Amino acid sequence: MNVRSAFGRSGRWLRRPIAIACVAAGLTLTASVVPANAAPLEPAAPAAAPSAWTPGPEIYGRSTPVTTTITMDDGTPITAYVVYPTLNGQRAPGTFPVLVTQNPYGNQLTDPTVAGDYFVKRGYIFVAAAVRGTGTSGGQADWFGTRTGKDGAAVVRWAAQTLDGTNGSIGLDGCSYLGVNQWSTAAEVGPNSPLKAIAPFCTNSDFYNDASAIGGIPTNFTGTVASVLPRGPQDNPQTDPLSVTVNQLRDGGDRSYRNDYWQQLSLEALMPRIVANGVPALSMAGWNDLFPAGNLDAYVFAQNAYYNRPVTAPIAPGAQVTGRYQAIVGPWTHGAHFTEASLQSIRLKWFDTLLKGVDTGMLNTTKPLHLFQNGANRWVDTAAWPPSPDARTFYLGPNGTLTDNAPTAPGTDTVSWPAPWLPATYNSAPVTQATTLDGPINATVYVASTTKDAEITATVNVVGPAGVVYKQGAGVLLASMRQLDTGKSWYGTGNKLIKPSHPLTQASQQLLTPGQQVRMDISVLPNFREIPAGSKIQLVISSQPPGNFHTVMQRTPQQKANLGYGVYTLSRSPAAPSSVTLPLTNPGAFTASPDNWGPSS
């Protein structure tokens, strides 16, 4: 039985059964577009007051890294580098909690232990383990998965039971690849493990639809990461498990679809196990990250799993939440500020709380989601995601307009593949009152193609009163992957679709008959922005992602053949009213956080 999640008109969620790299590319911006964290549309709010807890001064020095080997259950040797706190040049006496990071990038270009210096100097042992198949570790490289989790769990046990100087309390730290493998490890450690906390920063939640593919189209993400990994002495990059994934994504094999392989990697599958294992998590991403939605989904999955709710359902206003699972979304690009004191001090507070038992009060929050509000230039704490059920639909109209009213006469516009430089652009009238965009966005496009498939990108911008364009989010979808999973999609007030979900499996694929009109619901990345009066909402529909899209698409040979040189007819008629639905609510619903959760740019 599917469960359909919707906001009722009262603003409460309704449930009813229904029948039906990482190599960070960053954001390349055009001259007329600025990112979501650019200068605020309104004057900046005063800086938030800090909490009472402070990280304190450096107490210790750091030792020279000690190299050791950890043997996995299958005999594979994993290389680890250990750094100890020191006093007067000698290893400090006593035992300490241990922070572990699992690094796939080797130690030839940079010292992987340097990222732990901030913590070592404040009373932690830091271990940097080389991921299987990379650096000097044995085995074959893979794209995360169960083997990665088992290796991580073995490293945790070793750090708690065998490592000299350990006090038995372990935490995991790291960003991007080094963040993602924390989730796999936490799912494999089992209940009552020595793993007391994780801090997976800059991570995704759905490997397929957040990074390796988007909207059914593979990207260059996995292949790019694979190409820069320094392979271990036992690895063959032409035949290892990682190469299987890279090749199938490129060539259109089974893993170019969201099959079982990808589903078992997703946090939707892992999070119930992580919560059952009792491992708290503090995650972080940026609004301009490669996958900001992944961090928000991780928060949603964790809170729901903790309270035995459907894992993929939104967190409704008033729903129970726990401080054991917290998330931060700042105005940053991928990996920004991770090794700076501003974010290190927040992670130190997390680890001090859970590994050292310091009463910091961090777990006592009733608002464990910490969001930077673009435009208002301030931090806001909330529990719900999205914070409000309010939603507003704008319909595509004639002469490039967006209107509140559905069309009363037929009309069409045209875009062609491949010609992203010739989009269809629609602008609303200036909003008469300030409003706040606070969540995911859905673009509904009724389209007919001259070919067997269509590729549609929807980009949502805010055009400020001075005419400056602020990108809010974008999304892409193949028409052949349009099947909607209503049980996992989110709905706002008036049963308006705000976050469409698609199976993206080979079984759900439905190629077009040329000339056939179909409905596509395109998931646009979320944002949190205060929009001042006088601004316009802008929707740009194109046949390919624009230059400032957050990743690079890598269509399979069959997808290219199906797309051909298609001409797409976009409908804006009464029977097929293309539209965009945004979660817009009263700015007065939000207040500044008392805490500073990181840099404002």
Residue 11 domain flag: yes
Q: How far is CA 326 from the centre of its chain?
A: 14
Residue 367 domain flag: no
Q: What is the CATH number of the domain that holds 574?
A: 2.60.120.260
Cα 450 to Cα 516: distance, rounded to the nearest angstrom? 8
Residue 96 domain flag: yes
Q: What is the CATH number of the domain that holds 128?
A: 3.40.50.1820
Both 203 and 320 in one domain: the answer is yes
Residue 340 domain flag: yes
Q: How many domains does the chain have?
A: 2
Residue 379 domain flag: no
Structure tokens at 586: 């009263």
Cα 13 to Cα 10: distance, rounded to the nearest angstrom? 9
Q: What is the 3-state secondary structure (H, E, C) of 98-110?
A: EEEEEECCCCCCC
Both 506 and 462 in one domain: the answer is yes
Structure tokens at 316: 């409704």
Structure tokens at 558: 């069959």
Both 31 and 146 in one domain: the answer is no
Closest of 341, 339, 334, 349 to residue 115, by C-alpha? 339
What is the dihedral angle through the alpha carbons of 302, 286, 108, 173, rounded to the nearest 10 degrees? -30
Containing structural domain, residue 559: 2-35+388-589
Residue 244 domain flag: yes
- Output the pLDDT for position 109: 72
Closest of 30, 172, 25, 8 to residue 101, by C-alpha? 172
Both 509 and 576 in one domain: the answer is yes
Both 348 and 414 in one domain: the answer is no
Q: What would the DSSP string read from start to end of 102-150? A: EESS-SSSS-TTGGGHHHHTTT-EEEEEEPTTBTT--S---SSSHHHHH
Both 585 and 469 in one domain: the answer is yes
579: Cβ contacts below 8 Å, ≥ 6 apart: 393, 394, 395, 396, 406, 443, 444
pLDDT tens-digit readout, 191-208:
999 999 999 999 999 999
Both 419 and 522 in one domain: the answer is yes
Both 104 and 30 in one domain: the answer is no
Q: How many CB atoms are located within 10 Å of the residue 185 CB? A: 28
Which DSSP category does 165 fall into? T
Buried-exposed string 237-266: b where 16+ CB fall within 10 A, e elsewhere:
eeebbbbbbbebbbebeebbbbbebbeebb
Residue 176 domain flag: yes
Continuous segment of H or E residues that includes residue 156: helix 146-161
Both 396 and 326 in one domain: the answer is no
Both 129 and 217 in one domain: the answer is yes
Both 172 and 212 in one domain: the answer is yes
Cα 84 to Cα 552: distance, rounded to the nearest angstrom? 41
- Output the pLDDT for position 591: 96
Helices and strands of the chain, counted as H and E runs: 10, 32
pLDDT tens-digit readout, 155-203:
999 999 999 999 999 999 999 999 999 999 999 999 999 999 999 999 9
Which residue type is seen at 44? A
Cα 2 to Cα 126: distance, rounded to the nearest angstrom? 45
Both 458 and 345 in one domain: the answer is no
Buried-exposed string 189-202: b where 16+ CB fall within 10 A, e elsewhere:
beeebbbbbbbbbb
- Output the pLDDT for position 474: 96
Cα 204 to Cα 24: distance, rounded to the nearest angstrom? 13
Regions in the chain scoring below 70 on pLDDT: 1-51
Cα 383 to Cα 317: distance, rounded to the nearest angstrom? 7
- Output the pLDDT for position 278: 98
Residue 46 domain flag: no
Cα 345 to Cα 90: distance, rounded to the nearest angstrom? 25
